A and B are shown apart, each in its own frame.
Chain A
Amino acid sequence: MTNPEISTGGVPVDAAPVGADIDAPAQTPSSPRKGMFGITGSGDVSGFGGLVRRQPEVIGSPKPYGSYFDEVTDALEEAFPAFADAIEKVVVEHDELTLHVKAERIAEVAQAMRDDEALRFELCSSVSGVDYLNSDARRLHVIYHLTSMTYRRRVRLEVAVPLEGTVPTVTSVYPTADWQERETYDMFGVVFTGHPNLTRILMPDDWEGHPQRKDYPLGGVAVEYKGAEIPPPDQRRVYQ
């Protein structure tokens, strides 16, 4: 356990990443958190026991990437001179192309992806976030899925920022990212600079915390109904 002092308030504690090998035995260091059914430590599949997550390292793919991926990266290199500086890694996996982009360059890259004749990613299909707990400098990832209707291609852009980091908005390139960036802000707390109206969208305006973060507990909020308060599962009585 790296930081035992932050084990307060029923929030799962940061656990050191355990081997990236998928065949490794399920090592689950004991968690100070109690599960819903009185289970402590590991082996809990109820979901309330503070599951230990393992973090495989992302490795860049070697050229040639295959499929249409070489064409896309070559076209982007041509259309976007700062390619080498802005693109950290190119990953091909599950027959999908991922470009890891430096957070501060994402809007420029998106602009090139949309406007270049050979790229033409007209549609921003989806913006979502992922919280990689334990990787502090690259903890929050924002992931953009672009679609080229002209060439029938898809590409994924991924940026990573620390907790307090900011990402330039892509709403000026793709207006459809407006609500999706608001959702990512609401759920993960990623701040999109230059967004026209970065407010919460799914949670109430006065909500505290960002629910999709990994250190935000499931059902960790007391529920109030007609004046009576029901504590969150991990703070309820335990029958053993």
Chain B
Amino acid sequence: MSYAGERETTEGRVFTVTGGDWDSITNNIDPLSNEKIVVNMGPQHPSTHGVLRLVLELEGETVTDVRPVIGYLHTGIEKNLEYRNWTQGTTFVTRADYLAPLFNEAGYCLAVEKLLGITDQITERANTIRVLFMELNRIASHLVWIATTGMELGAISMMLYGFREREYILDIFEETTGLRMNHAYFRPGGVAQDIPDSAIKKIRDFLVYMPKKLKEYEAMLSGQIIWQERTQGVAVLDVTGCLALGITGPVLRSAGLAWDLRKTMPYCGYEDYEFDVPTATTADVWGRYQVRMAEMRESLKIVEQALDRLKPGPIFVADKKIAWPAQLAVGIDGMGNSLEHVAKIMGQSMESLIHHFKLVTEGFRVPPGQVYVSLEHPRGELGVHAVSDGGTHPYRVHLRDPSFVNLQAIPAMAEGALLADVIAGGASLDPVMGGCDR
């Protein structure tokens, strides 16, 4: 029985496969005259982490040529930013890499703060909250990685566990920011609002809960012969290859180079935290798995330290020309202006109302110039190149997203290997197409 639809084209016969129907292709072509098969994988394919399309040329099961095609999730975030004020920008960048929204926000806010020249005015509490949330976000992002990679390599239960634990982190985010994703929580000048005590308690519980789970994952995967065979020696890329292709993050560290921007070019006070930079030397998918597992443990360490140094204090810069005028609060429908502030500006102070109106509708002006700020994203170096012309809107903001740059490595990893290893290699890069296509 034939499942795969087929049609004749000028290029040869074209099959549309949906899975479990490989036989109908192999039975229908003459193996002697048709050694080469071109497989179009994606853009809708469960193993491509979103809308990535891979055009693969196969000889037998060996991949001879890979061409990644991207752009299916291009949403014009950088263009849109230019039409909103600087504070609104954070609501756009948070939607780029949706598995690591807080990193996008942090990079953008650091860039705006550098342009404003207020980097050293960011309060200690705001910085600590940023570090705390970024590290929780890193764990959430790595959990999705292990979940999806597990699923792609046949460990379905890993998918369920990974998403279950991520839910815990998303609950913490929701409690603080009002949203599970796309928080717009970091703002140029600080963070939108303080952490409630209930969220602190949840984080403390999480610190007890998570290490046990990490052990469980390793007990399930590390000794598993299928997991080992699918990851060890697969999709190797050494340090030279990584640097030439611009690959950073866990992939570079799996090749042995301990390059982590939190250590090498610290920001947000990372130099005051104690943590290690895990590396591996195998430069394969196995190494990347080990690096990411170890990184989650290091992130837990940082979260614990950040909680300990969380002292009461302001969460926004004191400059009233920049700081958001209201204290925001989480209501039943998400985050919004606190009712006390609304009562004050509507009933008591005309000046506050004018100030609020100007700052919220028009925004603040940022001195002209350009900056480049980078930080260690779960996938590598996230760079934000921000240009201001002195106005209330960004002139140009470019996100150097690690998914975009890292995806260039797929041909180098996959050509000459088996088709099944394309999946493992691609997954080990942990691409997120929202960030890649922006």
Could you say which of A56, A123, A175 contacts B389, with CB atoms under 8 Å apart?
A56
Interface string of B74-100 (1 = CB under 8 A from A): 101011101111000000000000000
Say whether A202 contacts B244, CB under 8 Å: no
With A125-B400, A176-B408 as contacts: A94 and B246 at CB distance below 8 Å? no
Separation of A176 and B390 alpha carbons in the complex (Å):
32
Say yes or no for B365: interface residue by CB 8 A criterion: yes
A55 contacts B by Cβ under 8 Å: yes
Is A152 among interface residues, defined by CB-CB distance under 8 A?
yes
What 0/1 pattern do residues 379 to 419 of B give for CB contact below 8 A with A? 00101010101111101101010001101100000000000
Output the least CB separation between B196 and chain A (Å): 32
| Distance in Å: Cβ of B110 to nearest Cβ of chain A | 12
A54 at the interface (CB under 8 A from B): yes
**Beyond A203-B71, A211-B79, is A126–B372 a contact (Cβ under 8 Å)?**
yes
User: A1 in the interface, Cβ–Cβ < 8 Å?
Assistant: no
Please list the residues of chain A having a beta carbon within 8 angstroms of any beta carbon in chain B: 20, 22, 45-48, 51, 53-56, 93-94, 96, 98, 122-126, 128-131, 143, 145, 149, 152, 154, 156, 174-180, 183, 187, 200-204, 211-212, 218
The answer to whether A45 and B361 have CB atoms under 8 Å apart is yes
Instruction: Judge whether B437 is part of the interface by a CB distance below 8 angstroms.
Output: yes
Once the chains are docked, how many angstroms separate the CA of A183 from the CA of B80?
Answer: 17
The distance in angstroms between the C-alpha atoms of A22 and B392, with both chains bound, is: 11
In this complex, the member of A46, A98, A130, A204 whose beta carbon has the largest number of chain B beta carbons within 10 angstroms is: A130
Q: What are the residues of chain B within 8 A of A143 when measuring CB–CB?
A: 370, 385
Pull 10 A–B residue pairs with CB atoms less than 8 Å apart, ordered by A: A22-B390, A54-B390, A56-B390, A93-B370, A94-B371, A96-B372, A125-B383, A125-B400, A176-B244, A179-B405
B: number of interface residues (CB 8 Å): 54
In the assembled complex, the CB of A77 is this many whole angstroms from the nearest CB of chain B, namely: 23
Distance, CA A156 to CA B344, complexed state (A): 47
The smallest beta-carbon distance between B401 and chain A, in angstroms, is 10
Q: Verify B71–A202 contact, CB threshold 8 A.
A: yes
Known contacts: A53-B395, A179-B405, A180-B405. The answer to whether A218 contacts B383 by CB under 8 A is no
CB-based contact B395/A125 at 8 Å = no
Q: How long is the Cα–Cα vector from A97 to B342 in the complex, in angstroms? A: 45
Please, how many angstroms separate the alpha-carbon atoms of A203 and B368 in the complex? 30
CB proximity to A under 8 Å, residues B343-388: 361-363, 365, 367-372, 374, 381, 383, 385, 387
Please name all residues of chain A whose beta carbon is closer than 8 Å to the beta carbon of B438 when the two chains form the complex: 202
1/0 contact trace for B240-268 toward A, CB 8 Å?
00011111100000000101000011000
| Contact residues of B between 44 and 89, Cβ < 8 Å to A | 70-71, 74, 76, 78-80, 82-85
**Which one, A96, A131, A183, A202, contacts B371 given CB within 8 A?**
A96
Q: Residues of B at under 8 Å CB distance from A?
A: 70-71, 74, 76, 78-80, 82-85, 114-115, 117, 243-248, 257, 259, 264-265, 361-363, 365, 367-372, 374, 381, 383, 385, 387, 389-393, 395-396, 398, 400, 404-405, 407-408, 437-438
Residue from the list B85, B259, B383 in contact with A145, Cβ < 8 A? B383
Bound Cα distance from A174 to B85, whole angstroms: 35
The answer to whether A125 and B114 touch across the interface, beta carbons within 8 angstroms, is no
Nearest to A48 among chain B residues (CB) is B83
**Distance to closest chain A CB from B218 (angstroms):** 31
Query: In the bound complex, how far is the Cα of B363 from the Cα of A45, in angstroms?
Result: 9
A218 touches B79 (CB 8 A): yes
Inter-chain contact A203/B391, CB cutoff 8 Å: no
Judging by beta carbons under 8 Å apart, are B243 and A123 in contact? yes
- Hey, which chain A residues are within 8 Å of B248, CB to CB? 123
- Shortest distance between the CB of A27 and any CB in chain B (Å): 11
Residues of B close to A154: CB separation below 8 A: 265, 372, 374
Query: Do B393 and A51 touch (CB < 8 A)?
Result: yes
Q: How far is the CB of A156 from chain B (nearest CB, A)?
A: 6
A96 to B438, alpha carbons, bound, how many Å? 26
Structural contact, B385 and A47, CB atoms closer than 8 A: no
Whether the pair B245, A204 counts as a contact (CB closer than 8 A) is: no
14 further contact pairs, Cβ within 8 A, besides A94-B369, A154-B265, A179-B408: A22-B390, A45-B392, A51-B393, A54-B368, A56-B390, A93-B369, A123-B248, A128-B400, A131-B396, A145-B385, A149-B243, A154-B374, A179-B405, A200-B71
Q: Is the CB of A212 within 8 A of B79?
A: yes
